[in-house]
Amino acid sequence: MKSLKWNVIWITGASSGIGRELVNQLAATGANIAISARSQDKLQSLADEFANVRTYPLDVSDANAMAECATHIEANLGPIDLAIFNAGVSAASTTAKPAAETFRTIIETNYLGVTNGLSAIVPSMSNRGSGHISWVGSLGGYNGLPGAGAYNASKAALVSLAEASKLELAPKGIDITIINPGFVRTPMTDKNKFPMPFLLEPDTAARKIITGLAAKKYEVNFPKPLVWFVKFLRLMPYPFFFWIVKNGLMPKQK
Ligand SMILES: NC(=O)c1ccc[n+]([C@@H]2O[C@H](COP(=O)([O-])OP(=O)(O)OC[C@H]3O[C@@H](n4cnc5c(N)ncnc54)[C@H](OP(=O)(O)O)[C@@H]3O)[C@@H](O)[C@H]2O)c1
Protein backbone atom coordinates (compact mmCIF):
# COMPACT_ATOMS: atom_id res chain seq x y z
CA MET A 1 0.00 0.00 0.00
CA LYS A 2 2.83 2.41 0.78
CA SER A 3 3.75 2.57 -2.91
CA LEU A 4 0.52 4.38 -3.83
CA LYS A 5 1.34 7.96 -4.71
CA TRP A 6 -1.58 10.09 -3.52
CA ASN A 7 -0.62 12.92 -1.15
CA VAL A 8 -4.06 14.34 -0.31
CA ILE A 9 -7.33 12.40 -0.56
CA TRP A 10 -10.85 13.68 0.15
CA ILE A 11 -13.48 11.05 0.94
CA THR A 12 -17.17 11.81 1.54
CA GLY A 13 -19.46 9.38 3.31
CA ALA A 14 -16.47 8.32 5.40
CA SER A 15 -18.31 7.83 8.69
CA SER A 16 -19.50 4.28 7.97
CA GLY A 17 -19.59 1.34 5.57
CA ILE A 18 -17.53 1.47 2.39
CA GLY A 19 -16.20 4.98 3.03
CA ARG A 20 -14.95 4.12 6.50
CA GLU A 21 -13.19 1.02 5.20
CA LEU A 22 -11.59 3.04 2.39
CA VAL A 23 -10.15 5.35 5.05
CA ASN A 24 -8.84 2.40 7.07
CA GLN A 25 -6.99 1.04 4.07
CA LEU A 26 -5.88 4.32 2.47
CA ALA A 27 -4.51 5.65 5.77
CA ALA A 28 -1.82 2.95 5.47
CA THR A 29 -0.52 4.59 2.28
CA GLY A 30 0.67 7.60 4.29
CA ALA A 31 -1.53 10.04 2.35
CA ASN A 32 -3.22 12.88 4.22
CA ILE A 33 -6.89 12.03 4.24
CA ALA A 34 -9.75 14.52 4.66
CA ILE A 35 -12.95 12.77 5.73
CA SER A 36 -16.47 14.15 5.41
CA ALA A 37 -19.98 13.10 6.44
CA ARG A 38 -22.66 14.64 8.69
CA SER A 39 -21.83 12.65 11.86
CA GLN A 40 -18.92 14.49 13.47
CA ASP A 41 -18.69 11.94 16.33
CA LYS A 42 -18.24 9.00 13.98
CA LEU A 43 -15.71 10.90 11.86
CA GLN A 44 -13.75 11.86 14.97
CA SER A 45 -13.62 8.28 16.27
CA LEU A 46 -12.10 7.25 12.91
CA ALA A 47 -9.65 10.16 12.79
CA ASP A 48 -8.51 9.34 16.34
CA GLU A 49 -7.08 6.08 14.99
CA PHE A 50 -4.72 7.74 12.49
CA ALA A 51 -2.29 10.67 12.60
CA ASN A 52 -2.89 11.43 8.91
CA VAL A 53 -6.73 11.61 8.92
CA ARG A 54 -8.61 14.90 9.58
CA THR A 55 -12.33 15.52 9.85
CA TYR A 56 -14.32 17.95 7.70
CA PRO A 57 -17.97 17.38 8.64
CA LEU A 58 -20.63 18.56 6.19
CA ASP A 59 -23.79 17.72 4.32
CA VAL A 60 -22.91 16.96 0.68
CA SER A 61 -26.21 18.41 -0.51
CA ASP A 62 -25.02 21.87 0.64
CA ALA A 63 -23.08 23.27 -2.34
CA ASN A 64 -21.54 26.15 -0.36
CA ALA A 65 -20.36 23.83 2.41
CA MET A 66 -18.72 21.55 -0.16
CA ALA A 67 -16.92 24.48 -1.84
CA GLU A 68 -15.73 25.89 1.52
CA CYS A 69 -14.60 22.43 2.61
CA ALA A 70 -12.47 21.92 -0.51
CA THR A 71 -10.86 25.32 0.07
CA HIS A 72 -10.10 24.43 3.72
CA ILE A 73 -8.68 21.03 2.83
CA GLU A 74 -6.35 22.51 0.21
CA ALA A 75 -5.28 25.31 2.61
CA ASN A 76 -4.61 22.81 5.44
CA LEU A 77 -3.25 19.78 3.61
CA GLY A 78 -2.31 20.86 0.09
CA PRO A 79 -3.82 20.16 -3.34
CA ILE A 80 -6.33 17.31 -3.44
CA ASP A 81 -4.92 14.53 -5.67
CA LEU A 82 -7.83 12.16 -5.34
CA ALA A 83 -11.47 12.75 -4.43
CA ILE A 84 -13.79 9.86 -3.67
CA PHE A 85 -17.38 11.11 -3.59
CA ASN A 86 -18.97 8.18 -1.84
CA ALA A 87 -21.74 9.66 0.36
CA GLY A 88 -25.12 8.18 -0.39
CA VAL A 89 -28.49 7.18 0.98
CA SER A 90 -30.96 4.55 -0.10
CA ALA A 91 -34.65 4.00 0.50
CA ALA A 92 -37.34 1.89 -1.07
CA SER A 93 -39.64 3.82 -3.39
CA THR A 94 -42.54 3.23 -5.71
CA THR A 95 -44.14 5.45 -8.31
CA ALA A 96 -47.42 3.73 -7.39
CA LYS A 97 -47.33 5.77 -4.16
CA PRO A 98 -44.75 8.46 -4.90
CA ALA A 99 -43.18 10.02 -1.82
CA ALA A 100 -41.75 13.34 -3.04
CA GLU A 101 -39.44 13.66 -0.05
CA THR A 102 -37.78 10.29 -0.74
CA PHE A 103 -37.10 11.17 -4.38
CA ARG A 104 -35.77 14.60 -3.38
CA THR A 105 -33.46 13.43 -0.59
CA ILE A 106 -31.97 10.65 -2.69
CA ILE A 107 -31.23 12.86 -5.68
CA GLU A 108 -29.90 15.71 -3.51
CA THR A 109 -27.50 13.40 -1.70
CA ASN A 110 -26.48 10.82 -4.27
CA TYR A 111 -26.41 12.94 -7.42
CA LEU A 112 -26.15 16.59 -6.38
CA GLY A 113 -23.73 15.56 -3.63
CA VAL A 114 -21.36 14.56 -6.43
CA THR A 115 -21.97 17.57 -8.67
CA ASN A 116 -21.41 19.82 -5.63
CA GLY A 117 -18.09 18.05 -5.20
CA LEU A 118 -17.20 18.59 -8.84
CA SER A 119 -17.98 22.31 -8.58
CA ALA A 120 -15.79 22.45 -5.48
CA ILE A 121 -12.64 20.86 -6.90
CA VAL A 122 -12.61 20.98 -10.70
CA PRO A 123 -11.45 24.64 -10.84
CA SER A 124 -8.31 24.06 -8.75
CA MET A 125 -7.50 20.73 -10.43
CA SER A 126 -7.93 22.38 -13.84
CA ASN A 127 -5.56 25.18 -12.85
CA ARG A 128 -2.96 22.62 -11.79
CA GLY A 129 -3.62 20.43 -14.85
CA SER A 130 -3.93 17.27 -12.74
CA GLY A 131 -6.18 15.36 -10.38
CA HIS A 132 -8.32 12.25 -10.07
CA ILE A 133 -12.03 12.41 -9.25
CA SER A 134 -14.12 9.34 -8.53
CA TRP A 135 -17.63 8.73 -7.32
CA VAL A 136 -19.59 5.75 -6.08
CA GLY A 137 -22.53 4.81 -8.23
CA SER A 138 -23.97 1.31 -8.07
CA LEU A 139 -24.66 -1.65 -10.33
CA GLY A 140 -28.26 -0.56 -9.70
CA GLY A 141 -27.51 2.40 -11.97
CA TYR A 142 -27.72 0.18 -15.05
CA ASN A 143 -31.39 -0.80 -14.73
CA GLY A 144 -34.64 0.54 -13.38
CA LEU A 145 -36.05 -2.02 -10.96
CA PRO A 146 -39.41 -1.97 -9.15
CA GLY A 147 -39.01 -0.80 -5.55
CA ALA A 148 -35.71 0.93 -6.27
CA GLY A 149 -36.74 3.58 -8.79
CA ALA A 150 -35.56 6.58 -6.78
CA TYR A 151 -32.21 5.07 -5.78
CA ASN A 152 -31.40 3.50 -9.15
CA ALA A 153 -32.32 6.72 -10.99
CA SER A 154 -29.82 8.65 -8.86
CA LYS A 155 -27.12 6.10 -9.68
CA ALA A 156 -28.06 6.02 -13.40
CA ALA A 157 -27.54 9.78 -13.39
CA LEU A 158 -24.05 9.22 -11.97
CA VAL A 159 -23.21 6.68 -14.69
CA SER A 160 -24.25 9.20 -17.35
CA LEU A 161 -22.43 12.07 -15.63
CA ALA A 162 -19.23 10.01 -15.54
CA GLU A 163 -19.44 9.26 -19.27
CA ALA A 164 -19.70 12.99 -20.01
CA SER A 165 -17.07 14.02 -17.46
CA LYS A 166 -14.39 11.62 -18.64
CA LEU A 167 -14.11 13.28 -22.06
CA GLU A 168 -14.78 16.81 -20.80
CA LEU A 169 -12.10 16.68 -18.10
CA ALA A 170 -9.38 14.66 -19.86
CA PRO A 171 -8.04 17.78 -21.65
CA LYS A 172 -7.72 19.44 -18.21
CA GLY A 173 -5.54 16.56 -16.98
CA ILE A 174 -8.27 15.22 -14.68
CA ASP A 175 -8.99 11.47 -14.54
CA ILE A 176 -12.49 10.18 -13.81
CA THR A 177 -13.42 6.87 -12.22
CA ILE A 178 -16.92 5.59 -11.58
CA ILE A 179 -17.16 2.92 -8.90
CA ASN A 180 -20.16 0.61 -9.28
CA PRO A 181 -20.40 -1.95 -6.47
CA GLY A 182 -22.91 -4.75 -6.17
CA PHE A 183 -24.12 -5.63 -2.68
CA VAL A 184 -21.74 -4.80 0.19
CA ARG A 185 -22.50 -5.52 3.88
CA THR A 186 -22.89 -2.03 5.43
CA PRO A 187 -25.49 -0.19 7.53
CA MET A 188 -27.16 0.70 4.20
CA THR A 189 -27.79 -2.93 3.26
CA ASP A 190 -28.28 -4.26 6.79
CA LYS A 191 -31.90 -3.08 6.55
CA ASN A 192 -32.60 -4.97 3.29
CA LYS A 193 -35.10 -7.82 3.62
CA PHE A 194 -34.54 -9.24 0.11
CA PRO A 195 -31.80 -11.66 -1.02
CA MET A 196 -28.47 -9.95 -1.86
CA PRO A 197 -26.51 -12.25 -4.21
CA PHE A 198 -22.70 -12.18 -4.05
CA LEU A 199 -22.77 -9.96 -0.94
CA LEU A 200 -19.22 -8.68 -0.22
CA GLU A 201 -17.62 -7.55 3.03
CA PRO A 202 -16.61 -3.87 3.09
CA ASP A 203 -12.88 -4.63 3.38
CA THR A 204 -13.03 -6.67 0.15
CA ALA A 205 -14.99 -3.91 -1.60
CA ALA A 206 -12.53 -1.24 -0.44
CA ARG A 207 -9.56 -3.30 -1.67
CA LYS A 208 -11.12 -3.66 -5.12
CA ILE A 209 -11.88 0.08 -5.23
CA ILE A 210 -8.35 1.10 -4.26
CA THR A 211 -6.80 -1.31 -6.77
CA GLY A 212 -9.01 0.13 -9.52
CA LEU A 213 -8.23 3.73 -8.53
CA ALA A 214 -4.49 3.03 -8.44
CA ALA A 215 -4.76 1.66 -12.00
CA LYS A 216 -6.79 4.79 -12.97
CA LYS A 217 -9.51 2.56 -14.40
CA TYR A 218 -12.52 4.42 -15.80
CA GLU A 219 -14.99 1.95 -14.26
CA VAL A 220 -14.44 -0.13 -11.15
CA ASN A 221 -17.26 -2.64 -10.88
CA PHE A 222 -17.77 -5.83 -8.91
CA PRO A 223 -18.62 -8.64 -8.33
CA LYS A 224 -18.23 -9.78 -11.91
CA PRO A 225 -21.18 -12.25 -12.12
CA LEU A 226 -23.54 -9.44 -11.08
CA VAL A 227 -21.80 -6.97 -13.42
CA TRP A 228 -22.36 -9.31 -16.37
CA PHE A 229 -25.99 -9.86 -15.38
CA VAL A 230 -26.91 -6.14 -15.12
CA LYS A 231 -25.06 -5.30 -18.34
CA PHE A 232 -26.79 -8.22 -20.12
CA LEU A 233 -30.16 -6.91 -18.86
CA ARG A 234 -29.28 -3.43 -20.13
CA LEU A 235 -28.75 -4.82 -23.64
CA MET A 236 -32.03 -6.77 -23.73
CA PRO A 237 -34.88 -5.53 -25.94
CA TYR A 238 -37.57 -4.18 -23.57
CA PRO A 239 -40.07 -7.09 -23.95
CA PHE A 240 -37.36 -9.50 -22.71
CA PHE A 241 -36.11 -7.06 -20.07
CA PHE A 242 -39.58 -6.61 -18.56
CA TRP A 243 -40.27 -10.36 -18.70
CA ILE A 244 -37.05 -11.18 -16.82
CA VAL A 245 -37.61 -8.46 -14.22
CA LYS A 246 -41.28 -9.37 -13.69
CA ASN A 247 -40.70 -13.12 -13.46
CA GLY A 248 -37.28 -13.24 -11.85
CA LEU A 249 -36.60 -10.09 -9.85
CA MET A 250 -39.88 -8.57 -8.70
CA PRO A 251 -41.30 -9.48 -5.30
CA LYS A 252 -44.33 -11.72 -5.91
CA GLN A 253 -47.69 -9.88 -5.51
CA LYS A 254 -49.92 -11.51 -2.87
N1 LIG B 1 -23.66 -1.17 0.43
C2 LIG B 1 -23.96 -1.49 -0.83
O3 LIG B 1 -24.37 -2.63 -1.13
C4 LIG B 1 -23.77 -0.49 -1.93
C5 LIG B 1 -23.88 -0.96 -3.26
C6 LIG B 1 -23.70 -0.06 -4.28
C7 LIG B 1 -23.41 1.26 -4.01
N8 LIG B 1 -23.32 1.68 -2.72
C9 LIG B 1 -23.02 3.08 -2.49
O10 LIG B 1 -21.86 3.16 -1.69
C11 LIG B 1 -21.87 4.41 -0.99
C12 LIG B 1 -21.58 4.16 0.49
O13 LIG B 1 -22.67 3.40 1.00
P14 LIG B 1 -22.53 2.39 2.22
O15 LIG B 1 -23.10 1.10 1.77
O16 LIG B 1 -21.17 2.44 2.78
O17 LIG B 1 -23.62 3.01 3.19
P18 LIG B 1 -23.52 3.64 4.67
O19 LIG B 1 -22.74 2.75 5.56
O20 LIG B 1 -24.93 3.97 5.01
O21 LIG B 1 -22.68 4.97 4.44
C22 LIG B 1 -23.20 6.10 3.83
C23 LIG B 1 -22.29 7.25 4.12
O24 LIG B 1 -22.80 8.43 3.47
C25 LIG B 1 -22.88 9.47 4.43
N26 LIG B 1 -23.95 10.39 4.06
C27 LIG B 1 -25.25 10.13 3.83
N28 LIG B 1 -25.92 11.26 3.55
C29 LIG B 1 -25.01 12.27 3.60
C30 LIG B 1 -25.09 13.67 3.42
N31 LIG B 1 -26.24 14.28 3.10
N32 LIG B 1 -23.95 14.40 3.56
C33 LIG B 1 -22.78 13.81 3.89
N34 LIG B 1 -22.65 12.48 4.07
C35 LIG B 1 -23.76 11.72 3.93
C36 LIG B 1 -23.14 8.76 5.75
O37 LIG B 1 -22.72 9.54 6.86
P38 LIG B 1 -23.64 10.47 7.77
O39 LIG B 1 -24.95 9.76 7.94
O40 LIG B 1 -22.84 10.62 8.99
O41 LIG B 1 -23.79 11.75 7.01
C42 LIG B 1 -22.21 7.57 5.60
O43 LIG B 1 -20.90 7.94 5.94
C44 LIG B 1 -23.23 5.04 -1.26
O45 LIG B 1 -23.12 5.99 -2.29
C46 LIG B 1 -24.05 3.86 -1.73
O47 LIG B 1 -25.14 4.26 -2.54
C48 LIG B 1 -23.48 0.85 -1.66
Evaluate whether residue 148 is within a structural domain: yes
> Which pLDDT band holds residue 20 (cuts at 50, 70, 90)?
very high
Instruction: State pLDDT tens for residues 96-115.
Output: 999 999 999 999 999 999 99
Evaluate whether residue 57 is within a structural domain: yes
Instruction: State pLDDT tens for residues 175-195.
Output: 999 999 999 999 999 999 888
Question: Does residue 250 carry a pLDDT above 80?
Answer: no
Q: What is the domain extent for residue 175? A: 8-249
> Is 180's C-beta closer than 6 angstroms to any atom of ligand 1?
no
The secondary structure of the chain, three-state, reads CCCCCCCEEEEECCCCHHHHHHHHHHHCCCCEEEEECCCHHHHHHHHCCCCCEEECCCCCCCHHHHHHHHHHHHHHHCCCCEEEECCCCCCCECCCCCCHHHHHHHHHHHHHHHHHHHHHHHHHHHHHCCEEEEEECCHHHHCCCCCEHHHHHHHHHHHHHHHHHHHHHHHHCEEEEEEEECCECCHHHHCCCCCCCCCECHHHHHHHHHHHHHCCCCEEEECHHHHHHHHHHHHCCHHHHHHHHHHHHCCCCC
The pTM assigned to this predicted structure is 0.97
> Is 17's C-beta closer than 6 angstroms to any atom of ligand 1?
yes
Evaluate whether residue 1 is within a structural domain: no
Evaluate whether residue 2 is within a structural domain: no
Evaluate whether residue 69 is within a structural domain: yes
Evaluate whether residue 74 is within a structural domain: yes
- 86 Cα to the center of ligand 1, angstroms: 6
In total, how many domains does the chain have? 1
Give me the CATH number covering residue 177: 3.40.50.720
151 is catalytic: yes
- 147 Cα to the center of ligand 1, angstroms: 19
Instruction: State pLDDT tens for residues 22-69.
Output: 999 999 999 999 999 999 999 999 999 999 999 999 999 999 999 999
Evaluate whether residue 3 is within a structural domain: no
- Nearest ligand 1 atom to the CA of 12 is 34
- 18 Cα to the center of ligand 1, angstroms: 7
